[in-house]
Amino acid sequence: MSHTTQNTFTGADVVSLRDTLRPGDVDAVGAIVTATGKFRPGEIAVAQELVQETLARGEAAGYLFTFADAGERVVGYACYGQIPCTLTSYDLYWIAVDPGLQGRGVGRLLVNAAEAHVRRLGGRRMFIDTSSRPDYAATRAFYERCGYTCEATLRDYYATGDGKAIYGKDLCTGP
């Protein structure tokens, strides 16, 4: 399935959303996740590998993507997919927006598009794993503004002092 929608955000900029992958997306994803300053080198490599795997294997890779483009430039993306061994639960594996455009509605557009896609596929629940570190407070607040609730926290999950916060949302009870 492929679709593109035009959505505006603060200022005169227009963002186009797309769910088709392009070879240049591997580098674009690497640049965006690096620019956020939140991810370790191994995590950045994984983000790029998921794009590469999906380009190579298509649907069989099990990952879905939505990209936000401003003109020819990728300014954000979301990667999500059905959780293995579940019938209607999906994970939002990655979402990242160019730091210069954060707080301008691009992240919300990506979350909304991912949720709509999951609903069309019959998904009923979306989950997001994130860090419980203090420097992720804005990220967790963003998820909460998008209607997600912290359902669990696993202490020292990623590293000592870096727990995993698991957020969830019922996609059948509203936008």
Q: What's the start-to-end Cα distance of the chain, in Å?
A: 21
Given a cut of 50, whether residue 33 has pLDDT beyond it is yes
pLDDT digits (tens, 9 = 90+) for 69-113: 999 999 999 999 999 999 999 999 999 999 999 999 999 999 999
Reported confidence tier of residue 1, pLDDT bands at 50, 70, 90: very low
Task: Quote the mean pLDDT of the chain.
Answer: 92
In a domain, 29, yes or no: yes
- Residue type at position 71: G
Cα 60 to chain centroid, rounded: 19
Confidence of residue 14 (pLDDT cuts 50, 70, 90): confident
Give a yes or no: residue 44 inside a domain.
yes
Residue 23 lies in a domain: yes
Contact at 8 Å (CB) between 100 and 73? no
Residue 1 in contact with residue 58, Cβ under 8 Å? no
Q: For tokens 């996609």, what's the residue?
A: 171
Residues 39-67 pLDDT 10s:
999 999 999 999 999 999 999 999 999 99
Does residue 175 lie within any of the structural domains?
no
Q: Give 130-168 pLDDT, tens digit per residue.
A: 999 999 999 999 999 999 999 999 999 999 999 999 999
Range of the domain at 54: 4-170
- What predicted TM-score, i.e. pTM, was given to this entire model? 0.91
Number of domain units in the chain = 1
The domain spanning residue 81 has which CATH number? 3.40.630.30
* CB contact at 8 A, 90 and 126: yes
